[in-house]
């Protein structure tokens, strides 16, 4: 009953085997190795363009370093109320950007919409410079922290506004693989073809052990990345560690197979949960995260039975939705390693609980 997070897993065997292959022989250090080069070539093929890519160990480093190349210290980054960069990266984005401000919008909805972004410009964006902070970038998360997937059309409509206001467009792609698998469109359509300047592509949650790529479609923005990465201690000497993981992850669409597996389990689990009258899904299930309203009693029973998942905060509910006294919100996450038995056991505990009520 492992639904805690998609980083509670190890690596897929294909990724691990590639790491083992990369363990032999001598190659240059600091990202000048054969494996790093191969990974960049593989990314160029997957995204069908001449991108620039750099590898780092964590999503926080990836997002924060990327954003530091996209804004000035006196500028603002617009993001979602539940953005990882806003809630879960301490003050790393502020620190790495030299103090840029994060402004969260889109309360109670799963994604930032063009209307909400326009509203921000009409009602809240400052214009009295240098007294106000100018907007420097827009950041969205694909799939979103509430499990919602941005379509290419939605991304395009956001990028049109970003272009109109001359701001850079960042995408946190910690679950990008799950979004591609859900939409069945190309990685290119979901990024640069829709106006994304920089993608932080996470492999860690979907089959790698520890590998994140900062991908610059807008190559001009990458000019100082190598200095920022080194200065913050994120240039690892044995580049083969990240390179080999990405080579193994991308080979023969392995990354999409892993994400498809995770998404399929999320859909099945959501269907099973929806069939229980007393349980409600808080958000449509699109990728591999499931937000569910359950009773506090059931929560206790599931935990006692060994269920791994997190209680989630009420603010993550859709606008206008409230919890009754005896209810709570939980988050379940499926992964490439989820097995049928995890779901079956979970649903059995639930069915048993209601059969004796
Ligand atoms: C949306 C999102 N971005 C980025 C990350 C990666 O963060 P880190 O590797 O720093 O824990 C996560 C991990 O939870 C995430 O959910």
- What pLDDT is attached to residue 357? 73
- CA–CA–CA angle 155, 113, 193 (5° rounding): 5
Ligand 1 centroid from CA 44, angstroms: 23
Ligand 1 centroid from CA 60, angstroms: 6
Ligand 1 centroid from CA 25, angstroms: 33
Q: Which fold has domain 255-355?
A: 3.90.1150
Over residues 98-126, the mean pLDDT reads 95
Pinpoint the residues of the chain covered by CATH 3.90.1150.10.
255-355
Over residues 221-232, the mean pLDDT reads 98
Contact 54, 235 (CB under 8 A): no
pLDDT tens by residue, 335-356 = 999 999 999 999 999 999 998 7
pLDDT tens by residue, 53-98 = 999 999 999 999 999 999 999 999 999 999 999 999 999 999 999 9
Residues 145 and 80: their CA atoms lie apart, in Å, by 9
**Nearest ligand 1 atom to alpha carbon 212:** 9
- What pLDDT is attached to residue 84? 98
pLDDT of 21 above 80: yes
**Residue closest by Cα to atom 8 of ligand 1:** 59
- What pLDDT is attached to residue 337? 97
With the most atoms of ligand 1 within 8 angstroms of its CB, the residue from 6, 8, 59 to mutate is 59
Banded model confidence at residue 275, pLDDT cuts 50, 70, 90: very high
**Nearest ligand 1 atom to alpha carbon 172:** 3
* Alpha-carbon distances of 25 from 22, 35, 55, 122, 209, rounded to whole Å: 8, 12, 21, 58, 21
Query: Is the shortest distance between the CB of 4 and ligand 1 below 6 Å?
Result: no
Q: Which fold has domain 13-253?
A: 3.40.640
pLDDT of 7 above 90: yes
Query: Is the shortest distance between the CB of 265 and ligand 1 below 6 Å?
Result: no
Over residues 17-35, the mean pLDDT reads 96
Banded model confidence at residue 126, pLDDT cuts 50, 70, 90: confident
- What pLDDT is attached to residue 184? 83
Over residues 112-137, the mean pLDDT reads 94
**Nearest ligand 1 atom to alpha carbon 145:** 1
Ligand 1 centroid from CA 173, angstroms: 9
Average pLDDT, the chain: 97
Over residues 274-281, the mean pLDDT reads 95
**Nearest ligand 1 atom to alpha carbon 58:** 9
Give buried/exposed letters for 272-292 (b at 16+ CB in 10 A, else e): bbeebeebeebbebbbbbbbb
Query: Is the shortest distance between the CB of 145 and ligand 1 below 6 Å?
Result: yes
Pinpoint the residues of the chain covered by CATH 3.40.640.10.
13-253
Over residues 208-214, the mean pLDDT reads 97
**Residue closest by Cα to atom 11 of ligand 1:** 59
Residue 334 burial by Cβ neighbours in a 10 Å radius (0-12, 13-18, 19+): buried
Query: Is the shortest distance between the CB of 317 and ligand 1 below 6 Å?
Result: no
């Amino acid at each position: 009953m492992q639904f805690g997070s998609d980083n509670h897993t190890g690596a897929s065997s294909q990724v691990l085997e590639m790491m083992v292959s990369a363990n032999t022989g001598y190659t240059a250090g600091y990202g000048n190795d054969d494996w790093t080069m191969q990974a960049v070539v593989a990314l160029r093929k997957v995204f069908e363009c001449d991108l620039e890519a750099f590898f780092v160990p964590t999503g926080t480093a990836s997002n924060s370093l990327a954003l530091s190349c996209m804004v000035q210290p006196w500028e603002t980054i617009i993001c979602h109320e539940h953005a990882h960069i806003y809630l879960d990266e301490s003050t790393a984005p502020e620190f790495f950007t030299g103090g840029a401000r994060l402004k969260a919008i889109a309360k109670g909805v799963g994604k930032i919409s063009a209307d909400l972004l326009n509203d921000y410009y009409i009602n809240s964006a400052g214009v009295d410079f240098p007294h106000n902070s100018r907007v420097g970038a827009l950041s969205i998360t694909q799939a979103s922290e509430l499990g919602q997937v941005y379509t290419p059309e939605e991304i395009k409509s956001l990028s049109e506004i970003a272009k109109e206001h001359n701001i850079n467009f960042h995408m946190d792609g910690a679950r990008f693989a799950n979004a591609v698998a859900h939409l069945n469109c190309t990685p290119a359509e979901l990024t640069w073809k829709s106006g994304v300047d920089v993608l932080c592509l996470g492999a860690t949650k979907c089959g790698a052990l520890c590998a994140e790529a900062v991908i610059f479609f807008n190559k001009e923005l990458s000019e100082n990345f190598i200095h920022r990465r080194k200065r913050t201690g994120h240039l690892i000497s044995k580049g083969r560690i990240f390179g080999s993981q990405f080579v193994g992850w991308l080979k023969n669409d392995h990354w999409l197979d892993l994400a498809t597996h995770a998404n399929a389990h999320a859909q099945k689990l959501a269907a099973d949960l929806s069939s229980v009258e007393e349980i409600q899904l808080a958000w449509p299930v699109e990728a591999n995260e499931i937000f569910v309203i359950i009773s506090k009693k059931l929560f206790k029973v599931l935990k006692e039975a060994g269920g791994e998942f997190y209680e989630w905060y009420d603010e993550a509910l859709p606008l206008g939705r409230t919890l009754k006294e005896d209810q709570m919100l939980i988050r379940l996450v499926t992964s490439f390693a989820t097995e049928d038995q995890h779901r079956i056991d979970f649903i059995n505990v639930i069915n048993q609980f209601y059969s004796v009520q």
